[in-house]
Structure 1
Amino acid sequence: MQPAEGPARSLAAAPQGWDRLPVPALELSSDAHALHANAAMAALAGLPAGALLGTGWFAVLSPDRRAALFAALAAQRDFTLEIRLLRHDGVKAWVDLEARWLPQSGSFLCLLQDCTTLKLAVQDAQAMASRFELLANNLPVLIAYYESAGFTCLYANPQYAATFGLKPEAVTGRTFAQVIGDDAAREIQPHVDLMLKARRTVSYMRQLPGPQPAGRPRWLEVSLVPHLGSDGHPFGAFVLISDITRHREAEAAVRESEERMAKFMQASVEGIVFHHAGLITDLNAPMAALVGGTREQLLGRHVLDFIAPRQLARVQQVMAQGAELSYETEIVDLQGRAIPVEFIVRTLQRGDDQLRMTIVRDLRDRQAAQERIRQLAHHDTLTGLLNRGAFVERLEAELAHPPADGRPIALLFIDLDHFKRINDSLGHGAGDALLRAVGARIADALPPQGAAGRFGGDEFVVLLPGVADRREAALAAERLRAAVQAPVHFGGRQLAVTPTVGVALFPEHGRDADTLLRHADAALYAGKAAGRDAVTVFEPALGVAIDEGLRLEAELAAALERGEFELRLQPRLAAADGRPAAIEALLCWRHPQRGLLAPAAFAGRVAQPRLLQPLAAWALREALRVQRGWRDAGHPALPVLLSLASLQLDGPALLAALGEALAAQAPAHGALLLALDERQCADEGARLPRLLAGLQRLGVAVLLEGLGRGGLALTRLRELPLAGWSLDPTLIDALPDDAAAAAVVRSLIGLAHGLGRCVAATGVHAAAQRDWLIAAGCTQLQGDAVEPALAPAALMQWLAAGAADAALPATSSP
């Protein structure tokens, strides 16, 4: 999402030192859009500051607080509000937001204080008090608390109050003599005195008469627990009373114990078995189910009957020692099948006898999960083939121990041609289905000693140890190519791609994994350059090209640091009246040895397109800076045109670089034109409309460069928001004598006129070409036969001479 114009202005005007504020801070508009977020706010949210701008910060704002916040903001006056943030790491934070209304900027300066610790502490204290009350109110124990100064009751649970025929609220505030009576108070006073003097718990028995007539008396066990301060002084005492009425209490306790044990055993999902001297005395249903029998079948059997033979000695040793421990072992069920388990062994005393209790935990699910984790760590989740790391390990192991007979090891690098189009047109579901099918076919075609992996995207690798020679390796690659290119059925349609395969051999083409992979990759790209859908075996000349490419990449990075790049500016003129329509900025490299190089001489030979992104960003900034120079000098604000065809900048990277360049130079709307190559646009596929829409939002018009090379369907031209296009220079070179080229050019010019678009001819090197194009109705012309490319200073002189006294009419201008 692009920030609105207002937030962008506010961010630019943010006071210096904003990000040095030690507290999280936000600048919010009255409609809750974030105009600025400082570093402390980004740290609190767990997101980059840029991701919080606009409505981006809503992602961390708890929905239940939004209405209150929006209402407070809409009032446009100072306020304080507690909000909740759902941080990016999933942690919930309570925050006090203090907002100061700034009328001059029409926004709020908001300081946020993380009060999560305090909030949680309050909640913990409330929860602790609630838990104590819940526990005290539900325990079968009479509980009260008396302060020591006047022996006044401060708390009584319902059971305690009910014993004396009162409500809890009626007990609090009374002395213990008022609660239990003077006679009882005198009876227990010695125990109270002992507790206060000794400052320890004092317990005693007390009898209460039962209901009359002939009521059975109740026996109570009373414990007085002193509440001591840090200096040992007693603040008060807890009174804990348990009913220990003879026989009934004992019977109830036994019955309760037996019930708890029975419920525990039956409620447990794990097996539990009790045995005495090795003979099973009791077990629960899960234990019986684990070994495949019934409780009746297993009672009286010896536990060692169910231990796997290889684990028998260890289990016997544990039983003989009477040890209490946990360990993994293996049992067998009634059918003799082995089951991995964990034993948790405990000893219980019952009278004079000792019982052994063993909890038996089935480990099959855990081991299956561990195997799944191991599988995920070494295999691609989509295809099941080895992942990059596991394949490289396998390759290195094979190279460390090559076949004893000296036969070569073949490494195949496979890439699917135009796979991106399937993803863009049919969605990732179709792409994933195709990748799974390709992975399965590669796995099925492998010999027993072979291995295959997926390196990511649509790249696969295959290892074939012990091939006879390069001919056998090429034949194996052809078989794989034939297997992969068979159509795949998905969603009622057939999906098909062709593979390009590169082959490298050990030891002929490399003796280590990295070299073999690079050389197989080089062979692959040589096959792609030759037309795709081919098998190419590595040749030494390809290695030279790789080394030259790597050297060029290193030189390119150093050249950018040394400032060896510069722009040449070439006017593009209107064919109708010869007035300038735009100025194209041509990126050149002032090479220390080779002189001034055009982009085609270096950019097209870089194997890593990401290395060109800093260069593209520099070209954008420099083109806008040069244009600002002639605009500040009073010359007409002609748009500057920059071609990114050779710089291989993809959509997201392009939008990011443009946003930074435009923010730095702040040019007028429409001051920048971009020329994107037809093949570059075709590769964007379904994402192309989104890219063009993003450029439109930035105020940048787009021209299609090199129309006529193929790659982009002409039917798409009327759907895309293009300002126009330029013709393929190879068509211009053939004019005016080549009748076929002339027919193609006329049709493309007619198409542009029919759609109301501008059409330009670049690379016009001869007067005959220029005159023919003017007669054919071409809108704009550029080339040495029109105006040569100039250094920035020379262009200023050309403009000052009056050559650029007007721009094109709006109807034909990009």
Structure 2
Amino acid sequence: MKDSDSILQLIADTTPALLAYFDARTLRCRFANASYASYFGFTIQSIVGRTVQEIAGDAVWQEVQAYFPRVLVDRQSVRYTRKVERDTGETQYLETVLRPHIDNGEFKGLVALVTDVSHHYRMAQQMRASEERMRKFAEITTEAIVVHQGGIIMDGNDALARLTGYPLDALRGRHVLEYIAPEYRAQALEHGRSGGEDCYESMIVHKSGRHIPVEVEGKSMPGAERDSRIVLLRDLTASRQVQEHMDFLAQHDLLTRLPNRARLNQLMKNALAQATVRQERLAILSIDIDHFKAVNDSLSHHAGDLLLCEVARRLSATVRAQDIVARMGGDDFVAVLTGDPTPQEAEAMATRLCQAIEAPCDIDGTQFVVSLSMGIAMFPGNGDTPEMLLGNAEAAMHMAKDIGRRSFQFYTSTLESRSTRMLMQEQLLRRAVEQGELELHYQPQIATADGTLTGLEALVRWRHPQRGLVYPNEFIGLAEDLGMISEVGRWVLREACRQVKVWQDAGFPVVPVAINLSAQEFLQRDVARDVAEALWETGLEARYLHIELTESTLMQSGGQMSDTLHALKALGVSLAIDDFGTGYSSLAYLRRHPIDKLKIDRSFVTDVPRDADATAIVNAIVQMSHSLHLQIVAEGVETQEQLDLLRSLHCTTAQGYLISRPLPADQTQAWMSQHLHKS
């Protein structure tokens, strides 16, 4: 018997629950495992012979004694749960099972089994809280939620009804596959059966028959009888439209809607590959509008934009459907003639293009007659890559300009080589930097609320000895190609800081000046060090210098960019994203980089308020800026209606021709004097 008692004690002590045996007549303990004895402060020897009341205490006995008659008298098993507040402050839930011991009809005793079920109680509480949170979330979220068991819809939210077009009552009890497009049903079925929790895309069939793209994410929820699946459906219609729009923007010129430089490069690669296989020729026409700058100078950028759009329309209407027309930037266009054109056919097309463009056009009530200068390069004779063909066509175009404009030239070996031309251009640009031919023009920025001057943007110009005032789109790219952009950038930085400090000392408004930096400047030099030196040399406080970067610059420059931007912020310089909305349009850099300000690109502002889409885009950018606590500036404001709309949208700052065109330093000073007098 001793061995049996020892084995029984070992088994009882191994049991995780509290276990004891009480005599039926006296309710005195005859046996207990170590856990039971220890819980009540006894040993397995000292607890034997004690009553339930003596073991648990008077308070507990008063609480549980009502359960014992059912065991002692009715000889039934009893189960109850008791809440216990421990000295540690922890709440514990103990489940007790009292079971009678009957041997040959004789009631000999009862077994008490006590289990800690606190974990189950907490889980239940958490489940109830989770269900309540889920209910509230389902009510307010715009994402559709469906709960199903084995594919049968049990419940959903209002967003699900909107997504499918059916009321919830009509959805409950139906199979989810009924509302999924047939080609996506196998995928949905397998995902549900496997309990997959990764996102995937599917297609919902609306009651109207319309197919709606959705992103699906499902989670399995264990249930008492059967597991359920809770599935979130995100309508991708808007994001697909935005993505398509952004893809279009990334490959097309925003103003003319023609393919841009990047898209042209891809189209030319495809055309060259096809022409090579078919042993056909291509003709590349580099097209430039003669004296285009005069339009901007005499009227406005708005008039210039209208002219560019009209030129784009006429070029596209004149070439054949198989040909390509693209805008390279500024007033530079390219036409690619496919289908094995001969040089004579290329010349005939160039003549037709010149004639089409020279037809009078009406721009804002003013009649214009403009002409073209064109250069023509032929594949395969003049090159076999997009870069070589475009470069040679451009060289021929410049030759056409040099001999009097309003003409076209074929590229030939007698033309100066690209390297020679680049060398001459490098010498001219170096002379411009060294002999002070560069100058800064300043465009004011004002508060939309009251017209107060809030800042100036410094824009570089080249006072060419023969060509007159040359705009940056004609030489900044050249400076980058020649590796001279750092020299130009350092001069712009120092001159802008110097001039603004002079104005501040003279009593003019103390406002910041903004300068633009390109991606190459961050790669070629220590921008933060140069800025620190310029501020120290000129005495300008760092808070009055704003640096503007394009979205593409942020995306191109890698980890070095982040380090430099944080170094600039440490100096106290403000950072802005220029032309926001026209680059990669990824919001990740707003989180990664210490950006202070967004500048809405003028291409969006130009179309407000008459274009609802443009107005919506501007409003979205403004609201996003406010939510991210960023300053916001709208560029290209040319009408009072645009300014009024921007004010109503709470866009705080504006710049553009309505306020002032970019002015030389002396005219900027006069403008500020007049502005101060008015205010």
Q: What TM-score comes out, normalization by structure 1 length?
A: 0.40
Structure ID, larger Rg: 1
Using CA pairs below 8 Å that are at least 6 residues apart, which structure has the higher relative contact order? 2
Q: TM-score, normalised by structure 2?
A: 0.47
